[in-house]
Amino acid sequence: MTTTIPLLFSPLSIRGTTVRNRIAISPMAMYCAENGFPTSFHGHHYAKFAIGGAGIVFVEQASVTRVGRITNGCLGIWSDEHADALKPLTSFIKSQGAVPALQIAHGGRKSSTQRAWEGNGPLKPENIQNGDESWTPVGPSDLAFAQGWRKPHALTIPEIHAHTAYFAKAAVRAVEAGFEIVEIHMAHGYLLQSFLSPLANKRSDEYGGSLENRMRFPLAVATAVRAAIPEDMPLFVRISAVDWIEGGWEIEDSVEFSHELKRIGVDVVDCSSGGNLVAGATNANLKRSPGYQAEFARRIKAETGIRTQAVGLIRTAGLANELLESEHADLIAIGRQALFNPSWPHHAAEELGMNSAFQQWPKQYAWWLKKWKSGLAASGEALNTW
């Protein structure tokens, strides 16, 4: 066992919140909410990650309005009742020493669509027959996301102001629900990213055209949310660092945008990419290899001084720790690998030479596992994760 703590397992303090390690479970929509309310699946699902040793457990994108839901199965935070329903989740996550975080979102022109496993596309008659509602989505312009998708209603200026307030109210509810970090979803082609990207935003007023104009609404949202949550609470923003499409949002835009976010008091830029594939475009530029988006996090951190979170195909403890050591990021978000293995943080600790005696596992497991491990070793059996 090593005596120096690997960076992945050293605590990090941001404003008034300290996370026990640098591992965040990435926000992942489960598409099984009912009218925006969590079901018992959510309770069990998020509990696994808190028990599994993550520093931060992100609860999936929760919509700030009813029509902002991407699918009929998306979580909501548009009423106080929704906030109340999330309290048991936050309370359990905290009881296990993890920090509960909520991603607040609006699906924009990608709303009113099928759940992932139903096809991820526009709703079909069979979805409606099965009880799904369909509605007109909203966006920066009346440009559909792709061929065959619903044409959005282009938000008017008073509606943009109203949406800024919806995000701020949602953030207040997140605090009320017991979350200790709020993240604003400004990635993946959803409402706020669609204002940023010239591929989706074709407005000719002060919310479209120049970079300054396209940033105006997302920055107003960040400002309103920052003012709505306690001074000592960290605020994250997830961005799509690039569109991966020629003529789209580029890394230089993300650097510029991050400078502004930092000025407003955003603490961490969570660096994802893509999601704004429009009709006729291809994602041939998208090269997916381990840590393929981490370079964006490195550049934003280096050029603006803001903290970053790296995400995307980070599956090994070695890579996660190396990205921190090489100053690509301050936090590492794990998505599908955590679905596969919710105790990934505990296994990562072991892999990095810590936790050989299961010290960081919940006491309900640790005593047994320690004895079990020595028993297995005595009979020559190796421990593995499956």
Residue positions annotated with a catalytic role? 190
Instruction: Quickly count: other Cβ atoms within 10 Å of residue 41's Cβ.
Output: 11
Among 82, 185, 203, 226, binds ligand FMN (CB under 6 A): 185
Region near ligand FMN per CB under 6 A, out of 24-32, 137-145, 163-171, 361-369:
24-32
Among 63, 113, 127, 272, binds ligand FMN (CB under 6 A): 272
Q: Toward ligand FMN, which CB reaches closer, 67 or 357?
A: 67
Q: Toward ligand FMN, which CB reaches closer, 154 or 184?
A: 184
Rounded to a whole number of angstroms, the minimum distance from the CB of residue 273 to ligand FMN is: 9
Nearest to residue 272, comparing CAs of 312, 214, 236? 312
Q: Toward ligand FMN, which CB reaches closer, 270 or 350?
A: 270
CB 360 within 8 A of CB 52: no
CB 183 within 8 A of CB 58: yes
Q: Per rule CB under 6 A, is residue 60 in the interface with ligand FMN?
A: yes
Q: Toward ligand FMN, which CB reaches closer, 202 or 298?
A: 298
Please give the Cα distance from 312 to 356 (Å, whole number): 28
Window 304 to 363, contacts with ligand FMN (CB under 6 A): 311-314, 334-337
- Three-class DSSP labels, 146-206: CCCCCCCEECCHHHHHHHHHHHHHHHHHHHHCCCCEEEEEECCCCHHHHHHCCCCCCCCCC
Among 6, 7, 26, 255, binds ligand FMN (CB under 6 A): 26
Please give the Cα distance from 160 to 166 (Å, whole number): 10
Q: Per rule CB under 6 A, is residue 114 in the interface with ligand FMN?
A: no
CB 49 within 8 A of CB 94: no
Q: Toward ligand FMN, which CB reaches closer, 61 or 355?
A: 61
Binding mask 151-180 for ligand FMN (x = CB under 6 A): ------------------------------
| Distance from the first to the final alpha carbon of the chain | 23
Q: Per rule CB under 6 A, is residue 238 in the interface with ligand FMN?
A: yes
CB 108 within 8 A of CB 152: yes
Q: Toward ligand FMN, which CB reaches closer, 108 or 208?
A: 108
Sign of CA dihedral 77, 174, 86, 50: positive
Q: Per rule CB under 6 A, is residue 28 in the interface with ligand FMN?
A: yes
Task: List CB contacts of 46: < 8 A, sequence separation 6 or more.
Answer: 57, 59, 89, 92, 93, 100
Q: Per rule CB under 6 A, is residue 29 in the interface with ligand FMN?
A: yes
Rounded to a whole number of angstroms, the minimum distance from the CB of residue 27 to ligand FMN is: 4
Please give the Cα distance from 259 to 253 (Å, whole number): 10
Among 65, 72, 103, 201, binds ligand FMN (CB under 6 A): 103
The residues binding ligand FMN (CB under 6 A) are 26-29, 60-61, 103, 185, 187-188, 238, 272, 311-314, 334-337
